[in-house]
Amino acid sequence: MAQARLNRLTYAYPGSHQAALNDVSLLIDGGLTMVAGPSGGGKSTLLRVLNGLVPHFHGGRVAGEAESAGFNIIATPTRVMARSVGFVFQDPELQAVYDTVEREVAFGLENLGVPARAMPARVGDALAQVGAEHLVGRRVSTLSGGERQRVALASVLAMQPRTVVLDEPTSQLDPKGATLVLDACERVVASSRSVVLSEHRFAQLQPLAETVVIVDQGRVETHAARDSRPGRVEVARLPPAEPGPCVWALEHATVGYAGHPLIADLDLAGYAGQVVALSGANGSGKTTLLRTIAGLLRPLSGKVERRPVRIAYLPQNPGALLHRPTVRSEVELTLRRTDSATSADDVLRDLGLFEVAERYPRDLSSGERQRAALAAVLAGTPALVLLDEPTRGMDPKARIALIELVRKLRDRGGAVVVATHDADLLAAIADRVVEL
Amino acid sequence: MNARAVAAWSCAAIVIALATSNPVYKAAVVVAAFAVLAAAAGLGRMRRLIVGVTLLALIDILLNFVSAHLGRTVLFALPDAIPALGGPYTVEALAFGGSAALTIAAAVLAAAALSLLLAPHEVMDALPGMLSRSGTALSASLNLVPTITRSFTDVLEAQRLRGWRPRGARSWAEVVVPVVLTAAEGSIQLAESMEARGFGSGIRTRYAPAALDLGDWIVVATSIAAVVGFALARALGWAAEWYAYPSLESPIVDARVIVFCALLFVPVVLWRKRG
C-alpha cells in the first residue's frame, strides 16, 4: 500500500524564486525508502513534505497534489499528521523538549491526549524498540549524541506512526552512535512500519532498502535499491608527506576544560606539510584538543607551543562563522583581514560554491553551509589549519572537493589537523592518525 | 517531593517575608529557607546562590546607607555640597537597609527552591491544566539555554581566529549576530520538532502526573498554617511592625509569631533525604 504519493508537486520557500521541489511525482511504498542526492538538492524539503512541515510550518508557494498516510498534505496541518507520520531531525541537541528521557519520549503522547495510565507502557515499548531501555531515568543533557538520537526516534515511535521519516539522523554521530541509530532503524523496518531515511552513509541499510529516491536540483528519480550505487568517497590516498619544520607541539599536556581532564600527559607534534587526524568517539576530547592546539584553551598541565603563524579554525558548528549577507562576502572578509591577494572566486570554485556565491549563507543546505564556513576560514594561505568534523552533512562530491583542498593546503606547506569520525576521510588524507 | 508542595512552601515563605517589616521575623524566614535548601539540595549546590544573595544584600544595605540621610544616630557626615552623597550617614539608615536586605534574601532563597529542588518538567507539572501548553513551551525554551551559551563561546573563538578583535561596540556585531541567528535557528528547529510531534493538536494529557504523598501534604498544610497564622497574628496585633526612623529601637518579638515562622522549617526534616 502506498504510504505517500506526490503528483506534480512544486514547492518554493518564502521569498525564493527558485523551486526547491520541481514537478515531483513520486510513490513511496512500505518498507525502507532511502533518499539520496547532493547537498542542497532538496532532500530535506522532500522529507518535510511527507509530514506537512512543508508547506505548513515553513510557508511558501506550493502547487500539485500530495498525500501521505491517507491525508491530503496540503490541507492537513503537521500537528494532525503527527499521529501517522513521525519525523526525526538531524541535530539531536535541538529536538528535546523535556530534560528526562521518559518525559521526552512521552511528549508526543501528551500532545495526542493519550491517557496517563497508558503512557508508561508505550514509552517503555518505544525505548525497547530502539534498544534504549537502559536510559530510563537519565537526563537528556547527559546523553551522548547516539543516545539522544535514539531517544528522539523512540519519542516518535511511541506515537505509533505508520511512517517514520529520518533526515540524516547520523550525520553528527560517531561510528558507534551511528550504528546504534541505524540498527534501531532496521528494527523499525522489521516491525512492518515504513521508513523514509536520508543518509549519506547508507551502506549498512542498503540491503534492507526497497527503493532509493535521488533528489537533485529539486527533481526526483526513483531506483530499485539493488540497482543503486550510492556515492562513497573513492579517492587515491595522499602520498606520504615529507614533513617540514614543527608548527605546533604538545609536551606532557593534559587537556580538558573547567578542571576536568579528558586526555592526560599527551606528547604530540604537527609539522608543515603534514595532515594529522584526531579520531575517537563523541566526547573523547577531539574538539578540546583541537581548541588547545589553536590556543583557545590552556592545557590543564604541560606545555603547548605554536609557531606564530596564521591559524584557520573550522568549528563543529559552521553557523558560528557565518554572519555576512553572501557567501562571497564571507570569503572576502577573511581575505581582507589576512591581506591575501588570492581571488575570492578561486576559493569559491575550489569548494564548489561559485554557483551559490551570492546567496545568504544561512539559507544554504547543511552541506553547503559547511563548505561556506570552510571557504570563510581557508581563504588566504593559513599555515595551521584546524578542522573540526569538516565533512558533516557533506555529500560525496563535496567530500572529494574537501580532500582536494586539504591536499593543496598540505602541498603548500600547511600543517593540517582534522578531528573526524569519517573513516573515509581519515583513510584519504591522514599522514598520521591519533586515536583518542 | 512534589512540585506543588515546593511551590506552596516557597509562596508561604515569600508572603511572610513581604508581609512584615519586623527584621526578626524576616530573619526567621531567611534561616528557614537556608536550612531547607541546605538540607534538600546541599550546600555545594547553593554556593552560587549564597554568593548572589550576599552581594544583593550588601548592595541594598550600601545603597540605603548612602542615599537615606535620615535618622538621629549620625555616624559621620559629608558636606551637603556633594551631589547625592552629601549629608549625614546614620545607624538608622544602615539598619533599615539591613532589614530590606533580609526581605530580598528571604524572597530569593525561597524562590530558588523551585530551580534548585525541581526539574523544569516538575515545575511545569505543578501548573494548572490551562497553563500546561505555555509551561511546555517554557520548558523547551529553557532546554535551549545551554546550547546558546555554548554557541556564544563557539562564535567568539571562531571569530577571534578569523582575525576579529573587539574594537568598540559595533565590532561586537560580528559575534552577537551569529549568536542571535544561531539561537533563532535553534528555536525554529525546536518548534519544528514540537510541531512534528503533534504539539498544539488538541487537549493535552500529562505523563504520570505526580501525586502528593503524606510528606507533601504535611508541607502544604504547614505552609498554609504558617501564612494563615501569620496573617491572624498581624490582625490581632501580635506581629508588631518595626521602623528604623527617626531613632533606632529594638523590634518587639512575640513567641507565638515565631512559632508560625518555625512551621517553615518542616521541610528540613521531610526533604532531607532528597539532597
B193 vs A contacts (CB less than 8 Å)? 87, 89, 94-95, 97
Helix (H, G, I), strand (E, B) or coil at A399: helix
pTM comes to 0.75
**Spatial distance between the Cα atoms of A241 and A233, rounded to a whole number of angstroms:** 21
**Spatial distance between the Cα atoms of A414 and A399, rounded to a whole number of angstroms:** 19
The residue written with cell numbers 510531534 in the block is: B197
Query: Which residue ranges of chain B lie beneath pLDDT 70?
Result: 143, 209-210, 273-275
Nearest to A56 by CA among B185, B186, B192: B192
Residue A155 confidence class, pLDDT cut points 50, 70, 90: very high
User: H or E element: which one contains A208?
Assistant: none
Q: Which of A79, A95, A100 sits opposite B198 (nearest CB)?
A: A79
- The CA-to-CA distance between both ends of chain A, in Å, stands at 48
Q: What is the pLDDT at residue A48?
A: 95
Buried b (16+ CB within 10 A) or exposed e, B242-254: bebeeebeebebb
* C-alpha Rg value of chain A to the nearest Å: 23
Q: What is the pLDDT at residue A1?
A: 62
Buried b (16+ CB within 10 A) or exposed e, B117-148: bbbbbbbbbbbeeeebbebbbebbebbbeebe
**Spatial distance between the Cα atoms of A206 and B72, rounded to a whole number of angstroms:** 88
A319:B185 CB<8 A: yes
Nearest to A410 by CA among A389, A387, A392, A393: A387
A162: left (phi over 0), alpha (psi -120 to 50) or beta: alpha
B196:A296 CB<8 A: no
Q: What is the pLDDT at residue B275?
A: 41
Is B197's Cβ below 8 Å from some Cβ in A? yes
A112:B119 CB<8 A: no
User: In chain A, what is the greatest distance between 2 CA atoms, to the nearest angstrom?
Assistant: 68
Residue A97 confidence class, pLDDT cut points 50, 70, 90: confident
B121:A315 CB<8 A: no
DSSP count for chain B of H helices, then E strands:
10, 2
The residue written with cell numbers 568549528 in the block is: A315
In a mutational test of the A interface, the residue from B122, B139, B193, B203 whose CB has the highest number of chain A CBs within 10 Å is B193
Q: What is the pLDDT at residue A280?
A: 85
**Spatial distance between the Cα atoms of A372 and A92, rounded to a whole number of angstroms:** 23
Dig out the grid coordinates for B219 from the structure: 508541607
B151:A320 CB<8 A: yes
Segment 129-158 of chain A within 8 Å of chain B by CB: 139-141, 155-156
**% residues pLDDT > 70 (chain A):** 95
Nearest to B162 by CA among B143, B145, B149, B175: B175
The answer to whether the CB of B144 falls within 8 A of the CB of B185 is: no
Residue A223 confidence class, pLDDT cut points 50, 70, 90: confident
Q: What is the pLDDT at residue B6?
A: 94
User: H or E element: which one contains A333?
Assistant: helix A327-337
A80 vs B contacts (CB less than 8 Å)? 198, 201
Q: What is the pLDDT at residue A230?
A: 54
- In this prediction the ipTM stands at 0.83
The answer to whether the CB of A33 falls within 8 A of the CB of A209 is: yes
A319:B198 CB<8 A: no
